[in-house]
Structure 1
Amino acid sequence: MTVTVLDDYQGCCAFLDAAHELDGSDVRLDIEHRHLDDQALPARLLDSDAIILIRERTSLTRELLEQLPNLKLVVQTGRLSSAIDVEACKELGIAVRDGGGSPIAPAELTWLLIMAGCRRLGGYLARQAEGDWQRTNQLLEAESLGHAVHGRTLGIWGLGKIGSLVAGYSQAFGMNVVAHGRESSAGRAFELGVEFEPDRHAFLARCDVITLHLKLNGNTRGMITPADLAAMRADALLVNTSRAELIRPGALLDALDAGRPGAAALDVYENEPDGASAYQAHPRVLATPHIGFVEKDTYELYFSTAYRQVREFFAG
C-alpha cells in the first residue's frame, strides 16, 4: 500500500518515533517535501492508496479526488477541517479519518509573538543583520524602543483551550487580562477569574495587545472588519496565530498602513505560503511561517494517530 504524506517541509515524518506504528505492515511511505500546486497534484497522487494531510497545507477538492481512482483513505492530522471535501469523499467511497491535537504548542508560540512583538524583536534582528546595533528601523523618526508586557492589558478574543493557556502565561508575567467573545468565553472568563468585556469596540480600544483565538467557520470568516481594526489603539499589537481568514481580506495591511493597530505579529496568512510575502515585507509586522503546531511533540501526537489509523484501516 502506498501512503503519501504531503507537505513534509521539514523532512521529518519518516523519522518520528510515531513511524514505528507502521512496523510489520506492508505500507510504503511516499513523502513529498514540497508544496505542490493544483496542476501537479493529480499526477503525483495517482498511485496513492492513502493520503495523510499535515493540517490544511493542501486541500483535497472534489475535482482532485475524482482524478485519484486508487485512493481509499484520507487522514487529516489534527481535527477535520475544510481542507477535505468530505461529501465528495463519501460519494467516491473514500474513507476519512482525523485525530486530535494539543493547545500547548500554539499557545506557546502566541506568547512568544506577544513578547517578541512588544519588544520589537523582529526589527532589532533585521537591523542587526544589516550591521546596525540596537536599531529597529532605518529611519530614526520611525524608531521604536518597544516595551515590557508587565502592567499592560492583554485582550484575548476567544477564551477556549489555547486562549485560556495564553491567559495563564500573561498573568504570570504581570499582565492584566480582558476576554471577549461568545457566551462560552464569558463563562470561561468567570472560571479563570478574568474580566470579560462584551462590547467589541470597548474591548479593542482598551487593550495594549489583542490576540485572536477563534475557530474559522461561516460565522467567523471575515468577522473582523476595517472598523474593528480602526478601533484599536495606535500603539496596539495585534497577534494572530489562529486563522488569517478571520480578518476581512486586505483589511489588516490597509489598517497597518493607516496606523491602527500600530503593529502585528502573525503566524497565519491567506493563500499560504505565497500570501505571507506582503506581511513579511511590512515594517510593522513580525511574521513567522505558520509554525504554531510545528514542533516535535505535536508531530508525534499527530502522526502516531495518523499512522495507526492507516495501519488499522488496511489491516481490515
Structure 2
Amino acid sequence: MKVHILDDWFDTLRGLSCFSKLDRHDVTVWTDHISDPAILAERLQEAEALVLFRERTAISAELLERLPNLKLISQRSAYPHIDVPACTRNGVLVCSNMKADGPNFAAAELTLALILASFRQLPQQVQSLKSGNWMSGVGRSLRGRTIGLYGYGRIARAVAGYADSLGMRVIWWASKDGRAQARADGASVAANREAFFAEPDIVSLHLRLKPGTRGIVTAEDLARMRPDALLVNTSRSGLMGPGVLEKALELGRPGFAAIDVFDEEPLLDPSHPLLNRSNVLATPHIGYVTEDEFEVQFSDIFDQVEAFASGEPINVINPETIDR
C-alpha cells in the first residue's frame, strides 16, 4: 500500500525499530505541517493509508472528499480531529487503539517536570545565570504540598505515584464513576468540586477531551484557586474555554500556570498572551514526544496498517465502513 505519514516534524519514525513493520509498503514521510485542505489533498492524491501523529492534522470532510484512493487512517488514542462520519461516507476505515496497555509515562513525567520547574523557577534561574546575574528569586519545595489531580486515569495515577514519592499529599476529583473508583482504591477524594480547586497548591488536569469534557474547567473553578497555586495542563487546551486561563491569570487566581497544550497547534505566534507572562511556563505539546513513547505508539499504529493490508483490520472505529 501507499502509506503517507503526516507531521513527522523531526523525521523521527524512520529511526525507530518498529518502522520495519512497514517494509513491504511504499512509505512517504512528510516532515512539515500543512493545514490547507486543498494543498494537503494535492500531495496525498496517491495515498491509500494515512498515519497520523495524534491531532497534528485535522481530517475534515473537505479533505476526505478530495482523496479518492484513501482507504485507511491509522492512529492511536482519541480522535476529535477526525470527521469519522465523513470517513464512513467516503469508504475510509479509521483504526485507533483506544485500549493501550499502561499509562503514557512520558506525559506523566512531563507533568512532574513542569511542576518542578515552576516551583523552583528553573527557567528564570537559568536565564539569570546566562545573563550574568547569578540567582533570581526564591523557589518553593514540593514536599508537604498538596496536589489535586482531576481525572482518575492511568496518567494521573502515575503522577500520583511521583507526588507520593516526593512526600506530597494527593487529592482527587473526577467523574462520578471515577470518584467512586478512587474511594474504592483508598484514595483521598475532595469533599466537593469547590474544595478541590480551592485547597491544593497545585491542580493538574488529566482528562480526555470529548464532548462531555470540553470546557469542563470553568472560570469559576479557576477563581477558587489560591493566588499562589499552580494550574498544570498537559492534557488538552479544550478542557477550558477560549481565553478562560488567560483571564484567570490576569485576575491572579491561579497565580501560576504550566501548560503543554494550546487552542491552536502548532502555535507559531510569539506574541501569544500565554507565551509572554512571567508566571506561565509553556512547552510545545511535548507530553508524548519521546523516542520511547513513539516506539510504543507507532508499533500499534503500524500493526493496524499491516492488519488492514492483510484483510483483517483491528481497532476499527467505524466498522460500518467494512460493510459498505
Aligned to 1:172: 165
The alpha-carbon deviation at position 160 of structure 1 amounts to 1.1
The alpha-carbon deviation at position 215 of structure 1 amounts to 1.5
The alpha-carbon deviation at position 275 of structure 1 amounts to 6.9
Q: Which amino acid is the alignment partner of residue 15 of structure 2? A: F
Runs of 4+ in 1 over 4 A off after TM superposition: none
SS at 2:4 equivalent: strand
Q: Distance between the aligned counterparts of 1:178 and 1:128, measured in 2?
A: 36
Q: Distance between the aligned counterparts of 2:78 and 2:132, measured in 1?
A: 46
Aligned to 2:301: 306
The alpha-carbon deviation at position 87 of structure 1 amounts to 0.9
Percent sequence identity is: 41
1:99-248 matches, within 5 Å, as 99-100=97-98, 101=100, 102-135=103-136, 144-248=137-241
- Which structure is higher in RCO with an 8 Å CA cutoff and minimum separation 6? 2
SS at 2:288 equivalent: coil
The alpha-carbon deviation at position 198 of structure 1 amounts to 4.0
Q: Which amino acid is the alignment partner of residue 217 of structure 2? A: I
Q: Distance between the aligned counterparts of 2:269 and 2:179, measured in 1?
A: 33
The alpha-carbon deviation at position 191 of structure 1 amounts to 4.4
Q: Which amino acid is the alignment partner of residue 36 of structure 1? A: I
Q: Distance between the aligned counterparts of 1:129 and 1:201, measured in 2?
A: 42
SS at 2:34 equivalent: coil
Bigger shift: residues 114-123 or 180-189: 180-189
Aligned to 1:84: 82
Deviations 1:175-221 (A, max 9, x none): 01111122233233324432101421211111101100111121211
Contact 1:209 1:238 in 2 (8 A): yes
Aligned to 2:282: 287
Aligned to 1:97: 95
The alpha-carbon deviation at position 223 of structure 1 amounts to 1.7
Q: How much is the aligned-residue C-alpha RMSD, in angstroms?
A: 1.7
Q: Which amino acid is the alignment partner of residue 290 of structure 1? A: H
SS at 2:170 equivalent: strand
SS at 1:14 equivalent: helix
Q: Which amino acid is the alignment partner of residue 177 of structure 2? A: S
Aligned to 2:314: none
Asked if 1:59 corresponds to 2:58, the answer is: yes
Q: Which amino acid is the alignment partner of residue 237 of structure 1? A: L
Asked if 1:11 corresponds to 2:16, the answer is: no
Bigger shift: residues 244-253 or 296-305: 296-305
Gaps of at least 5 residues in structure 2 are: 312-324
Deviations 1:230-271 (A, max 9, x none): 110000001000111111210111111221111111111111
Contact 1:237 1:263 in 2 (8 A): yes
The alpha-carbon deviation at position 285 of structure 1 amounts to 0.8
The alpha-carbon deviation at position 110 of structure 1 amounts to 0.9
Q: How many residues align?
A: 305
Q: Distance between the aligned counterparts of 1:210 and 1:275, measured in 2?
A: 27
Aligned to 1:268: 261
Contact 2:6 2:52 in 1 (8 A): yes
Contact 2:80 2:210 in 1 (8 A): no
Asked if 1:28 corresponds to 2:55, the answer is: no
Deviations 1:65-116 (A, max 9, x none): 001111111111x214111111111111111111254421111111111111
SS at 2:301 equivalent: helix
SS at 1:195 equivalent: coil
Q: Distance between the aligned counterparts of 1:250 and 1:130, measured in 2?
A: 33
Asked if 1:50 corresponds to 2:69, the answer is: no
C-alpha change, 1:287 and 1:276, in structure 2 (3 Å) is farther
Contact 1:181 1:198 in 2 (8 A): no
Q: Distance between the aligned counterparts of 1:14 and 1:204, measured in 2?
A: 44
C-alpha change, 1:192 and 1:276, in structure 2 (3 Å) is farther
C-alpha change, 1:80 and 1:240, in structure 2 (3 Å) is closer
